[in-house]
């Protein structure tokens, strides 16, 4: 039996816990290493350039989230469709999905780059860039916009590599890319004294390497599905087939970007530029915990998608139960670390500013007060996405990120100031988790009947 067919057989028959663990480890390593792009940039800029430079980079973060959202729109949508079609043994259609995803990335990334340069100044001001931080933010964004196609292509197609069962290759992709970024950051920032521009150039070069790596994979012998020229011709049905699934994570990411922009404007009004820097530190911590749960979802997605397409509903149910427990344990562990060691975490990013330390410690503790509930909610929302119910997944994502959180961000600070900005998050997390539980219980009962 060749390796490609072995991957398919594992998805269908291998013990769920062992299979999840096999997929989780490389996915976890990959997403954590990928998270280091922004975290390492913040650490080196905060320590090497200063607190206001850290605030400037934090203000650019919502714009980077928008770019990543389009990568998720194509990458996760294509990944789920590839898994489901492999479950149906329809490898030709899976390859058409891959080819159309490639073409879609090129079109979208060109549009984003052109539009980004056209509206970057009002966009930066919209997302909370102040007078003291504008130069830093603008210098960083100028370079990052040129890297849009590399970043989208690498991120999106690497997700398809994972979905075809090649989790270790997907992990190696991220190690090569993020490892390059970690090496180049101190070289460009400290040795060559390039400041925030150095951090941006390090990110761009790293994304270019990732792009080259994934394209070589899909034209090589290790790929389960191959990138072929005839499949690059855009097919509207295939494109919609991708986008309907990708819309849920896309909407979640866009919502996250809008929320971060709203956070930044409220933080400047009630706490000043350094409060935006504190939010950058908080987001770095949140990203590590959040991406750990996302890694769990990445590990489960090909298993759930394949077996749902193959109508093996018992394996779908068993995978869901294991992931709900694991997601809760991860979020509980993150909550405990943040509440016990907030000062240590803040000083990792900047040791000089006592004001940043004070704001950051308070923000961390308040912001993550309800994170014990977040793991369950992220896993549940991802489950609906994996089985093709994009509408429910999108609603659950938007409920937490927009429908509850944004009104809270405007109402609470009117009464309790900066503390209200921090508390908007845990209030949203709590309400959304209960609503998510209602949807999941109903879906779980339907799944039991199919077993």
- Is residue 412 over pLDDT 90? yes
The pTM for the full model equals: 0.67
d(C-alpha 345, C-alpha 206), whole Å: 26
How large is the average pLDDT for residues 285-306? 81
d(C-alpha 111, C-alpha 26), whole Å: 32
Cα dihedral 161, 166, 171, 177 sign: negative
Residue 354 confidence (pLDDT): 80
- Is residue 2 over pLDDT 50? no
User: What is the band of 110 on the pLDDT scale with cuts at 50, 70, 90?
Assistant: very high
Count Cα neighbours of 300 within 13 Å in the Cβ-side half-sphere.
30
15, 114, 348 from 288: Cα distances, Å:
28, 31, 15
Measured in Å, how far apart are the chain's first and last C-alpha atoms?
Answer: 30
d(C-alpha 43, C-alpha 199), whole Å: 11
d(C-alpha 119, C-alpha 393), whole Å: 31
Q: Which two tokens stand for residue 209?
A: 């390497």
Instruction: Quote the percentage of the chain above a pLDDT of 70.
Output: 93
pLDDT, one tens digit per residue, over 134-165 is 888 888 888 888 888 888 888 888 878 877 77
Estimate the crossing angle of helix 91-126 against helix 148-163, to 10 degrees.
Answer: 140
- Compute the C-alpha angle 371/373/377, nearest 5°: 115
pLDDT, one tens digit per residue, over 209-244 is 989 988 888 887 777 777 787 778 877 887 887 887
Residue 424 confidence (pLDDT): 92
pLDDT, one tens digit per residue, over 333-378 is 989 998 898 888 888 777 777 888 888 889 889 998 888 888 888 8
């Amino acid at each position: 039996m060749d390796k490609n067919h072995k991957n398919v057989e594992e998805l269908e028959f291998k013990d769920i816990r062992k299979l999840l663990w096999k997929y989780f480890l490389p996915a976890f390593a990959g997403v954590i290493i990928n998270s280091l792009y922004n975290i390492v940039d913040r650490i080196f800029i905060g320590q090497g350039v200063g607190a206001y430079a850290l605030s400037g980079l934090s203000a650019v973060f919502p714009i980077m989230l928008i770019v990543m959202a389009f990568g998720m729109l194509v990458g996760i949508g294509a990944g789920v469709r590839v898994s489901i079609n492999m479950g149906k043994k329809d490898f030709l259609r899976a390859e058409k999905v891959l080819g159309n995803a490639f073409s879609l990335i090129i079109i979208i990334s060109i549009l984003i780059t052109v539009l980004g340069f056209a509206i970057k100044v009002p966009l930066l001001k919209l997302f909370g860039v102040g007078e003291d931080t504008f130069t830093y933010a603008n210098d960083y964004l100028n370079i990052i916009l040129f890297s849009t196609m590399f970043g989208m292509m690498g991120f999106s197609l690497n997700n398809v590599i994972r979905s075809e069962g090649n989790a270790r290759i997907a992990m190696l992709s991220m190690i090569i890319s993020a490892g390059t970024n970690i090496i180049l950051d101190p070289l460009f920032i400290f040795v060559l004294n390039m400041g925030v521009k150095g951090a941006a150039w390090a990110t761009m070069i790293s994304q270019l390497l990732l792009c080259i790596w994934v394209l070589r994979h899909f034209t090589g012998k290790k790929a389960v599905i191959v990138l072929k020229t005839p499949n690059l011709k855009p097919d509207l049905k295939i494109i919609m087939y991708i986008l309907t699934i990708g819309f849920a994570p896309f909407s979640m990411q866009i919502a996250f970007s809008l929320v971060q922009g709203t956070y930044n404007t409220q933080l400047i009004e009630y706490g000043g530029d350094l409060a935006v820097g504190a939010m950058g530190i908080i987001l770095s911590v949140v990203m590590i915990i959040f991406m750990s749960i996302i890694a769990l979802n990445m590990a489960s997605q090909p298993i759930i998608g394949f077996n749902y397409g193959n109508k093996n509903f018992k394996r779908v149910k068993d995978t869901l139960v294991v992931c709900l427990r694991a997601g809760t344990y991860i979020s509980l562990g993150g909550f405990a670390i943040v509440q016990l060691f907030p000062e240590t975490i803040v000083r990792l990013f900047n040791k000089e500013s006592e004001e940043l330390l004070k704001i950051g410690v308070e923000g961390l503790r308040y912001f993550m007060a309800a994170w014990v509930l977040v793991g369950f909610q992220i896993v549940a929302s991802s489950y609906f996405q994996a089985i093709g119910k994009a509408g429910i997944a999108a609603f659950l994502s938007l409920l937490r990120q927009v429908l509850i959180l944004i009104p809270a961000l405007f109402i609470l600070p009117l009464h309790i100031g900066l503390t209200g900005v921090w508390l908007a998050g845990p209030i949203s997390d709590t309400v959304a988790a209960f609503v998510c539980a209602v949807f999941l219980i109903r879906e779980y009962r339907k799944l039991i009947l199919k077993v």
